[in-house]
Every structure is written in structure tokens, then in C-alpha cells.
A and B are shown apart, each in its own frame.
Chain A
Amino acid sequence: MNCYEIREQIYSYMDGELTLWRMRAVSIHLSECPPCASGMEFKVVLRASVAQRSAEALPSELQGRILALIAAERSGAE
């Protein structure tokens, strides 16, 4: 696998969506190619950052409202 192919497949590799054979080929390339490894590192950091900053807690009163809505629906249907 060359650097261009790695570029094309790096996210699929990170997502675990490649075949076992391709996963292994990407892994071998990364261990031997610092620029490609650095490229992946950036993507890993970016993804972690997006995930971390996208976390939101459920407002406590919202849970109560959902349950009340379902209870009303249930009693209305009967």
C-alpha cells in the first residue's frame, strides 16, 4: 500500500471498517511511515475533540416530561 492509498483509507481504518487484510496492510504502512502516522494522529485528536465537546447532559425535567407524555398516551389509548 502506498501513501495515497493510505490517505484514502485511513478513516475506514480508524472506523474498523476495512477487511482484516486491509487493516493489517494499513497498520504495517503506518508503522513504517511517520508522515502517514502523523496524519492519522491528527484525525484521532480531532475526532476525540469533537466527541468530547459534543457531550450534552439530559435536562432532568425533560426525562420527567417524556415519561408523562408516554403515560398520557397510554392512558388515552386505553
Chain B
Amino acid sequence: MAPRHAASGPEPLGVGPGAKSQHECPRVAVTSRAVANQEDFEVLAMQYAGEIYAHALRLTSDKADAEDLVQETFLKGYRGFAGFESGSNLRAWLYRIATNSYINGYRAKKRRPETRDIDSMGEWALHQRIGGLEKAASDVTPESIVMESITDAAVKAALDALPDDFKQPVLLADVDGFSYREIAEILDIPIGTVMSRLSRGRKRLEVALFSLAVERGLVEPNPEPESVSV
């Protein structure tokens, strides 16, 4: 019996040579089994350029470096798009290229802050301290009072102070909304490692912003933080 498909293979849905009108191509995520066609890279990938740029800027903390990283990401993406493993997620794939390019290139140039021992302060004690503001607030939650009083620059500084290994999972989860499995793929680490780094990174961020709130007199310092860390 003859094979069902000719040697040229089946036409990929929507991304084959037949789909010539790129401007009319809808902005869709590649999740089908279709073989990726390099001609369609711009249409499919450019919709993520904004968030890849934001991701690059968060990684590099420098606009010029971020722009270079985005260009490198899209060039590598274009070159590798023919081999793009269909069934996987184009958005996560681009994030992975950007992250790898950053790790292999840009991070080597930069010195990251040393890991500081701020885990000793109990996470739960932190909530309790901030919760203590409740007495002063009526219709506004104490947590939002604290967060509104902290500037964008301070939040960014707190993020920047996180070691990369913690910062990246936190950003991918909390800013970009990736699942643990996707983060594991993007960073090429086991899912258990994603979970532990996320947990530690988030705790550090909370403590850093709490410390800032104490500095600014927004909350009372806790002289003897209750240690509940394990």
C-alpha cells in the first residue's frame, strides 16, 4: 500500500508556503503540530518582542544591553526556527533563548551582588509586622499602604538585589505568568529547583521590601524577629 502522504509531506496548517499573506496572518501562538516555517517567524514571534524586551531589561538592568540581547534573541530565534520543536511553546522558547544568551554573554560581564543572609528573619513574622498596621487603617489594607509608599525604583532595586538564580524564577512566575514546568524549561533546571528558588527568592523580596518599609518609618522594626524559617 502506498504511503498516505507524498514525499513532500503534508502542508502545515496555516504556516506553509500557501499562507503568503503575512499581514493578514492572525497573531497566534504556535502550539500546533505544524512544522515551523522560517518565513513566518516575524509574524509569529514579533508579538512577543515587547515582553522579551522587558525580560531582557530586567535581566541586564541596562537599556543598551537589553536592546542588544533582544536583537540577538530574535536573530537566533530566526536561525533556529526551522528546527523549532512544534508542540512546545513559542513564547517560552524565545524566553529560553534570551535567558541563555544572557547567561552565556551578558552575565559574564557583570558582577552580581553576593547572596546575603536575610533568610534568618521569619517570613511569617514579616506578615505579622505588616499586619500590625491594621490598627491604623480602616478601608485600605495595610499591605497596600506599604506597597504604595514604596517607589518603583525601590521595587526594582529590591529585585536587582536578588541573586540571578532567584530573581529569574520570580520574574518568570510573577511578572510573566509562566508555570513551574515552563520555568524549568526556560531555565533548564529541574522543577523542584524552580520551586525552591521561587520560594527563597520571594521570601528575600518580601524581607527586602519590609526592611525598606522599616527604614522609611512605614512600619515598626521588630527587635527580635521570630524565627520560623526551617
Any A CB within 8 A of the CB of B30: no
B180 and A15 form a contact (CB under 8 A): yes
The answer, among A41, A49, A66, for a CB contact under 8 Å with B49, is A66
A-B contacts counted at CB < 8 A amount to 104
Contact check, B54 vs A11: say whether CB atoms are below 8 A apart. Answer: no
**Cβ–Cβ contact A67 & B124, under 8 A:** no
Q: Does B190 contact A (CB under 8 A)?
A: no
A interface with B by C-beta (< 8 Å): 7, 11-12, 15, 17, 35, 38-39, 41-43, 45-47, 49-51, 53-59, 62-63, 65-67, 69-70, 73-74
Let me know if B199 and A70 touch, CB within 8 A.
no
Number of interface residues of B (CB under 8 A): 49
Residues on B lying within 8 angstroms of A by beta carbon are: 38, 41-42, 46, 49-50, 53-54, 57-58, 67, 70-71, 74-75, 78-79, 123-124, 126-128, 130-131, 134, 141, 143-144, 147, 150, 152, 155-156, 159, 170-171, 173-175, 179-180, 195, 198-199, 202, 205-206, 209, 228
What is the bound-complex CA distance between A47 and B67, given in angstroms?
Answer: 26
Given A41-B143, A42-B130, CB of A63 within 8 Å of CB of B46: yes
A50 to B173, CA, bound (A): 11
Give the complex CA separation of A57 and B57 in angstroms: 10
> Known pairs A53-B156, A59-B67. 7 more at Cβ < 8 A?
A38-B127, A42-B126, A42-B127, A56-B54, A66-B49, A69-B75, A73-B78
A-B contact pairs, 11 of them (CB 8 A): A11-B202, A17-B180, A42-B127, A46-B143, A46-B205, A50-B205, A53-B155, A58-B50, A62-B67, A66-B71, A69-B71
On whether A57 and B75 interact (CB within 8 A), knowing A42-B143, A46-B206, A70-B42, the answer reads no
Q: A69 near B147 (CB under 8 angstroms)?
A: no
Closest B residue to A15 by CB, please name it. B173
Q: List 4 A-B pairs, minimum CB-CB distance, nearest first.
A: A56-B54, A58-B50, A39-B127, A45-B143
Q: In whole angstroms, what is the CA distance A46 to B57 when docked?
A: 20
Q: Which residue of chain A has the shortest Cβ distance to B39 in the bound complex?
A: A74
Q: Kindly provide the distance from the CB of A48 to the nearest chain B CB, expressed in whole angstroms.
A: 8
A57 touches B124 (CB 8 A): no
Residues of B within 8 A of A42 (CB): 126-127, 130-131, 143, 206
- State A54–B61 Cα separation when bound (angstroms): 11
Taking a contact as CB atoms under 8 Å apart, the answer to whether B42 and A46 are in contact is: no
Q: Is the CB of A50 within 8 A of B159?
A: yes
Q: How far is the CB of A26 from chain B (nearest CB, A)?
A: 15
A35 and B38 CA atoms in complex are apart in Å by 54
